[in-house]
Structure 1
Amino acid sequence: MYKSLLIFSLLLFFIQTISAQEKKEPKHFISITNANTYIPKGAGVDNLDHKGHFVPGFGIDYLYRFLPKWEVGIMADFEVGEYIIPHDEPLKRENALVLALVATYTLIPNWNVFMGGGVELEKDHNLGIFRLGTEYAFPIGQQGWAIPLGVFYDIKEGYDAWSISVGVGKAF
């Protein structure tokens, strides 16, 4: 009985030691980003004749890896500024919050493409969005830190927008 218990204990210790030595692939990635969005149909509130408008912003992204090349997550972007989309009935946007659920696919290590949908929340009128994009995460050291650089395109109700973002993120 003691011999069997000793052998079983040594076997469990051996398995645990080998498992601890295997490098575990992180499943979570969170980043804080700074973005600049270009709205081709947009105009500043002080110059309605001008076509095209840039809006600064920041965001928080969270991704969960459920397969080696696939992740799901949420991208939350806050646009800091005001602009108008001129139409028969102008659409005014001020400090909009964009929330998108996305699925990502890893093309090569550190380079993902993503797509998803969500909503742009704004005090006057909320809009549905569809997002397409890509992001490359430049690794920093061995602790899971990275600098993500992304480009994405939002198709919104009534207008579209291009964004470029850079940030800092951590895989864990």
Structure 2
Amino acid sequence: MDILFTNFNHHYLMINSAKKFLVLFFMLIGFFGFAQENSDEIHHHSISILLGHTTIFQGFENGERKTESEPSWAINYNYMFNDKWALGLHNDIIIENFVVEKTSGDEILERNTPITSLIVGTYKIFDGFGVELGGGLEFDKNESFGVARIGAEYGIEITKHNLEVLISLDYDIVIDAYDGLNIGIGIAKLF
């Protein structure tokens, strides 16, 4: 019973810390957003939701390593400084439990619907297409890991409704754990 209570407390504290971080981040973004001049040419803020699949290359089942594909969701916020540069908070959740063999090959990890939160910088190479680089943490009730991300995103803006249809491709390196390739499609509200 004590072990269950300790695991619950650890998980609760981890989620509480993540919530505090998200609230602080959005408050800061809001402050900086209102401090900026409004421009008719650029929407400084975007909130997006994407449905995706994460391919995990170090999956482990029945004593063998195998590649797995798990369903995932992403909820992202980006602040555009100008028409080329953006900074955002990207949050992904793999909605399945899975087992991986660590990249070092010496340990098996159980992952239970891990949540990843990253600070991501985006540079728009041309209208609609940007490359991403960022880092953050993957939270799980068993163990948390640092994450590095490199990716690309293509958006098709629907100007009449201030929306954007997004296609994204991200490669995550979950440090000392496993690698994942995220492919997603979704929609963003620009404001």
Superposition TM-score tier, normalisation by shorter sequence: 0.7 to 0.9
Aligned residues: 150
Contact 1:33 1:167 in 2 (8 A): yes
* Cα distance in 2 between the residues matched to 1:31 and 1:43: 32
- 1:26 paired to 2:43: yes
1:146 aligns with 2:157: no
Larger of the two Rg values belongs to structure: 1
**Which of 147-156 and 137-146 deviates more?**
137-146
| Structure 1 residues 144 and 92, CA gap change in structure 2 (3 angstroms) | same
For 1:101, the equivalent position in structure 2 comes to 119
Question: What are the Cα deviations for residues 68-120 of structure 1, in whole angstroms up to 9, with x where unaligned?
Answer: 21000010011111111124321111100000100000011111111000000
In structure 2, distance between residues paired with 1:88 and 1:64 = 41
- Kindly provide the CA deviation profile for residues 52-77 of structure 1, in whole angstroms up to 9, marking residues without a partner as x: 11111111000001132100001001
**Structure 1: where are the runs of 5+ without partners?**
1-19
Q: Please report how far the alpha carbon of residue 50 of structure 1 lies from its aligned counterpart in structure 2 after TM superposition.
A: 4.8
**2:132 aligns to what?**
114
Structure 2 counterpart of 1:168: 187
Do the aligned residues in 2 keep the contact of 1:48 with 1:84 (CA within 8 Å)?
Answer: no
Matches within 5 A, 1:60-99: 60-86=75-101, 87-99=105-117
Structure 2 counterpart of 1:51, from 58, 61, 66: 66
AA aligned to 1:77 is: D
Paired residue secondary structure (1:142): helix
SS in 2 for 1:26: coil
The SS at the match of 2:180 is: strand
CA displacement 1:22-53 (0-9 Å, x = unmatched) = 83411011101111000111135xx4425111
Matched-pair contact (CA < 8 Å) for 1:131–1:154 = yes
Q: Report the identity percentage.
A: 31
Q: Which has the higher helix share?
A: 2
Residue 58 (structure 2) aligns with: 41
Question: Within 2, Cα distance between the matches of 1:103 and 1:141?
Answer: 24
Letter in 2 for 1:169: A
CA distance in 2, matches of 1:88, 1:146: 43
Gaps of 5+ in 2: 1-37
> TM-score by structure 2 length?
0.74
How many Å separate the matches in 1 of 2:65 and 2:179? 16
Give 4+ residue runs of structure 1 displaced > 3 Å after superposition.
Answer: none
Distance 2:183 2:99 in 1: 20
